[in-house]
Amino acid sequence: MGGIHPEANKIAHNQTVEEFPLPDQAVVYMTQHLGAPAKPIVQKGDKVKVGQLIGEANGFVSANIHAPISGTVSRVDAIADISGYKKPAIVIDREGDEWMEDIDTTPDIVSEIKLGKDEIIARMKDRGIVGLGGACFPTHIKYMLKPEQKCEYLIVNAAECEPYISTDNRMAIEHAEECIIGVEIALIASGADQAVIGIEDNKPEATASLAAAAKGHPKITVQPLRIKYPQGAEKQLINAITGRCVPNGALPISVGCIVNNLTTIYAIYQAVQKNMPIVQTFTTVSGKSVPADKCRNFHLRLGTSIKAVMDAVGIPEDTGKIISGGPMMGKAIAHLDAYAAKGMSSFLFMSEKESRRGEVSPCLRCGKCVSACPMGLEPYRLHAFSELNRFDDCEKYGIMNCIECGSCQYTCPSNRPILDFVRVGKAKTGALIRARSAANPK
């Protein structure tokens, strides 16, 4: 149901991942995950090594943060991220590249899984593993199942349906064996009997690589999927693979599923088999105005200057916007004096022409936004209610079920800012729901 077919523009698909130079200074945000910011546990003047805990999870939904470089903490401050808003951060001046002694930094692949279910989940939490598909939800929470909950399917999201982004594709090609071991680890943590890796069938090399690595692993299958956006959204992926529908307001476990992005699975392998926290991120830098040979896939340390990454590729003269993430669900970068964080899977250069919105005209009632919505909503109606501040009606017509994929706005012939108003309406409706719940606790 719903969905669209934007131009894929996978320009960097065939570019091998390159190690980006280490930054002389790393700015490490304490807000690199969904939930409460981590609490800094180092002070100015402290010496740190790569992989050392510097920010401690501060709540149930929170995640640990580790030093991405070794050196001296020069300050603990509030520093603007890509949104332009200041966030708590730790600044480290690099003095070499010294890692914590208990981290295995060798390229050797470790196949034998020695940890049990509870130990694996604890390791995920300790190593600060979060969803690297964009949401950055603390991964260990997904595996903390209640006694009445049972996971039947572990689903690995390798669809990568957003245009331009190529990190999962390269992960499948370059690290297939480690990913399959990561799936086996996640199977132990989930208690599921089977795992399915869903990948859109415009990635034949990645599909073949994963399928070859999965031989000898009877619980793991690789399932090609038809090309359709937003195929990689959790609920849509579950439906495509299992035929099950996650009810509105419910989590995937309600239909017996846990979903993890492929790069997250690789991070789980690194954490469990190598004791490696997330101190690096895989990032595609691309755009139509960038020469094809300059579109790159980088492996870069957290806290690296975004401007340094942009300069390495070269900012096209006609750039109108730089997007963190894909063109459909990514966010425009407010300024370049910000730093790389977990889950930054792409930097996209959009030309002035591409980024300029078309002239808005009245709604035609054509219904294209309704047909495109993968959640079965009526976006035109939600747009109107939000614009009129009718948030009770927003709630009634399901605005909180919107996944903000942008399919509605993409299809609108009147260039109406549907998603903009839906996002505002969703935020305000959510605030009203929380206020009502606080005033009338059960």
Q: What is the CATH number of domain 97-356?
A: 3.40.50.11540
The domain ranges of the chain are 18-94, 97-356, 368-435
Residue closest to 389 by CA, chosen among 425, 423, 349, 440: 425
- Per DSSP (E only), the strands in 210-312 are 220-225, 257-261, 280-286, 296-301
Q: Which residues does 3 contact at the CB level (< 8 Å), separation at least 6?
A: 228, 229, 230, 231, 236, 372, 374, 407
CA distance 385 to 243: 32
Please state the pTM of the whole predicted model: 0.95
Q: What is the mean pLDDT of residues 153-157?
A: 97
Q: What is the mean pLDDT of residues 84-92?
A: 96
Largest distance between two CA atoms of the chain: 64
Class for the domain spanning 18-94: mainly beta
In percent, the amount of the chain with pLDDT more than 70 equals: 100
> Before 327, cis peptide (omega within 30)?
no
What the block records as the tokens of 159 is 């669809």
pLDDT digits (tens, 9 = 90+) for 277-300: 999 999 999 999 999 889 999 999
Is it true that 18-94 and 97-356 share their CATH fold?
no
pLDDT digits (tens, 9 = 90+) for 388-434: 999 999 999 999 999 999 999 999 999 999 999 999 999 999 999 99
pLDDT confidence of residue 135 = 82
Phi and psi, residue 94, nearest 5°: -75, 140
CB 136 within 8 A of CB 33: yes
Q: Is 288 helix (H, G, I), strand (E, B) or coil?
A: coil
Q: What is the mean pLDDT of residues 137-159?
A: 96
What the block records as the tokens of 112 is 């034998």
User: Is residue 1's pLDDT more than 80?
Assistant: no
Q: How confident is the model at residue 441 (pLDDT cuts 50, 70, 90)?
A: confident
pLDDT confidence of residue 249 = 85
Angle at the Cα of 20 (from 19 to 25), degrees rounded to 5? 135
Q: What is the mean pLDDT of residues 232-254?
A: 93
In percent, the amount of the chain with pLDDT more than 90 equals: 93
Q: What is the mean pLDDT of residues 338-365?
A: 93
CA distance 331 to 347: 10
Residue closest to 301 by CA, chosen among 115, 9, 32: 32
pLDDT confidence of residue 57 = 96
CA atoms within 13 A on the CB side of 382: 33
CA distance 217 to 411: 42
pLDDT digits (tens, 9 = 90+) for 180-223: 999 999 999 999 999 999 999 999 999 999 999 999 999 999 99
pLDDT digits (tens, 9 = 90+) for 65-78: 999 999 999 999 99
pLDDT digits (tens, 9 = 90+) for 369-391: 999 999 999 999 999 999 999 99
Buried b (16+ CB within 10 A) or exposed e, 58-95: beeebbbbbbbbbbebeebeebbbbeeeebbbbbbebe
Q: Which residues does 99 contact at the CB level (< 8 Å), separation at least 6?
A: 49, 50, 51, 70, 105
pLDDT confidence of residue 31 = 96
Q: How confident is the model at residue 442 (pLDDT cuts 50, 70, 90)?
A: low
Q: How confident is the model at residue 248 (pLDDT cuts 50, 70, 90)?
A: confident
